[in-house]
């Protein structure tokens, strides 16, 4: 796909990256004790500033001085997307010698076009070819060959048109991300008002009809519902279709997603059916940060169960309990259970978690209020994902594929 005014402009010109960039020779042999560093966000997400201390202790000799719009590469993980055009460093910043940098045309047209060139599939393919080694993170880019990477590019007016188009999409995505952050912040602040603070038995904010309803009652989770254990299965039980097994990867941003699914045969023994309005909870994982994350199972899922590293909390007041599981009180009790080395929550201990809760009618009112916010947040997430998908598809049309040079 090309913009109408460039459809007769001929083929894109293939050059080497070295025709656009040269190696940075701004080397600082003895960096200051304290300096501003620059890090790279993976997969085209740009750069960020960081404060570094004691460079000698951290083997940070022979640093590169980076200026805005330099091209920075992490030679160890470049093929995974750790490559970016430097930003946020108008006064200069320093990067490790493991992050070679390259200097090119600093005009907005060239810089903005290359922000997108370096995240195309074709560019990653070229990176992969110059990154010898084993699988995964064992591959290391050969920086001597980096400037030999083949680049196909149109003339500057078309470069500018492409960059402006994609930049406008990025600005729109950024605006929606800001709206999402505002919604999440609003919900967090509202929850702090709707649930009692530590050491208190009533919230600071109550709906008018419940302001004279008295104190909330402290209860164990055991009195609010029951736990349903997960399924232990072997690789031989896995099949292409059958009973869906919900795992930690199916819980994303507090919602159930079906992007990474595992199925087992429907006749497997020991599977407890997962039901709509069950709360799916990760109770065991190699990553401690995932322990305790949870989501409400929606209606309309195919027949499913949950894996042994998960549990289900089944409650008649599930829409209120799921909000309890988003409170600071819940997070503190999970953290206290994990300790320094444990990466799991014991079911019997989990049922002893305590919370202050109101009567059923006030529970429902709070659940309805916060659920409506959750729906707004979910809709906003979906909108952002749709924009990202649109951008990805647009880039696939605006840039030549690996085997093409025609735009």
Please give the tally of structural domains in the chain: 3
Residues 221 and 350 in one domain: yes
Task: Yes or no: say if 238 and 300 are a contact pair by the CB < 8 Å rule.
Answer: no
Per-residue pLDDT at 401: 78
Residues 366 and 336 in one domain: no
Here the CATH number for the domain that contains residue 106 is 3.90.220.20
Per-residue pLDDT at 407: 42
Domain membership of residue 7 (yes or no) is no
Q: What is the pLDDT of residues 315-336, one digit of tens each?
A: 999 999 999 999 999 999 999 9
Spell out, as residue ranges, where the chain has pLDDT lower than 70. Answer: 29-35, 42-44, 51-61, 79, 88, 90-92, 133-139, 339-341, 402-407
Here the CATH number for the domain that contains residue 188 is 1.10.287.1120
Per-residue pLDDT at 236: 92
Residues 273 and 386 in one domain: no
Torsion region of 81: left, alpha or beta (phi above 0 gives left; psi -120 to 50 gives alpha): left
Per-residue pLDDT at 137: 57
* pTM (two decimals): 0.83
Q: Among residues 356, 374, 392, which one ends one of the domains?
A: 356
For residue 252, with 0-12 CB atoms within 10 Å meaning exposed, 13-18 middle and 19 or more buried, which class applies? middle
Residues 92 and 163 in one domain: no
Domain membership of residue 2 (yes or no) is no
Residues whose CB falls within 8 Å of the CB of residue 170, separated by 6 or more in sequence, listed in order: 391
Residues 286 and 369 in one domain: no
Residues 39 and 149 in one domain: yes
Residues 347 and 231 in one domain: yes
Q: What is the pLDDT of residues 92-135, one digit of tens each?
A: 688 877 788 888 877 777 788 988 998 888 888 888 888 776 55
Domain span including residue 400: 155-211+358-407
Domain membership of residue 107 (yes or no) is yes
Residues 263 and 297 in one domain: yes
Per-residue pLDDT at 31: 64
Domain membership of residue 246 (yes or no) is yes
Per-residue pLDDT at 405: 44
Residues 126 and 249 in one domain: no
Residues 139 and 171 in one domain: no
């Amino acid at each position: 796909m090309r913009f109408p005014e460039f459809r007769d402009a001929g083929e894109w010109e293939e050059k080497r990256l070295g025709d656009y960039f040269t190696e940075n020779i701004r080397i600082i042999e003895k960096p200051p004790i304290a300096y501003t560093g620059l890090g790279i966000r993976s997969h085209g997400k740009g750069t960020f500033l960081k404060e570094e201390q004691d460079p000698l202790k951290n083997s940070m000799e022979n640093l590169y001085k980076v200026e805005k719009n330099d091209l920075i590469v992490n030679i160890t993980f470049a093929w995974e997307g750790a490559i970016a055009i430097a930003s946020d460093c108008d006064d200069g910043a320093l990067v490790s010698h493991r992050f070679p940098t390259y200097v090119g045309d600093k005009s907005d047209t060239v810089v903005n076009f290359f922000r997108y060139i370096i995240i195309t599939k074709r560019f990653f393919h070229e990176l992969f070819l110059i990154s010898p080694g084993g699988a995964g993170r064992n591959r290391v880019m050969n920086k001597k060959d980096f400037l030999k990477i083949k680049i196909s590019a149109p003339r500057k007016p078309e470069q500018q048109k492409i960059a402006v188009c994609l930049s406008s999409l990025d600005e729109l995505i950024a605006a929606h991300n800001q709206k999402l952050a505002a919604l999440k912040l609003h919900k967090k602040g509202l929850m702090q008002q709707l649930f009692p603070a530590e050491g208190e038995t009533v919230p600071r904010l109550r709906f008018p009809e419940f302001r004279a309803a008295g104190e909330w009652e402290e209860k164990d989770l055991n009195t609010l519902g029951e736990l349903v254990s997960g399924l232990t299965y072997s690789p031989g039980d896995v099949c292409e279709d059958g009973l869906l097994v919900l795992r930690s990867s199916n819980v994303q941003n507090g919602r159930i997603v079906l992007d990474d699914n595992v199925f087992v045969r429907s006749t497997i023994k020991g599977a407890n059916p997962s039901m709509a309005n069950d709360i799916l909870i990760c109770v065991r994982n190699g990553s401690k940060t995932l322990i305790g994350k949870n989501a409400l199972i929606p209606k309309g899922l195919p027949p499913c169960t949950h894996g042994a590293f998960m549990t289900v909390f089944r409650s008649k007041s599930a829409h209120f309990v799921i909000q309890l599981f988003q409170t600071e009180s819940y997070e503190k009790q999970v953290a206290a259970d994990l300790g320094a080395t444990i990466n799991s929550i014991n079911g019997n201990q989990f049922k002893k978690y305590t919370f202050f809760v109101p009567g059923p009618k006030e529970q429902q009112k709070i659940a309805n209020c916060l659920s409506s916010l959750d729906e707004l947040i979910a809709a906003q997430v979906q909108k952002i994902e749709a924009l990202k998908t649109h951008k990805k598809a647009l880039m696939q049309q605006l840039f030549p594929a690996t085997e093409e040079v025609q735009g």
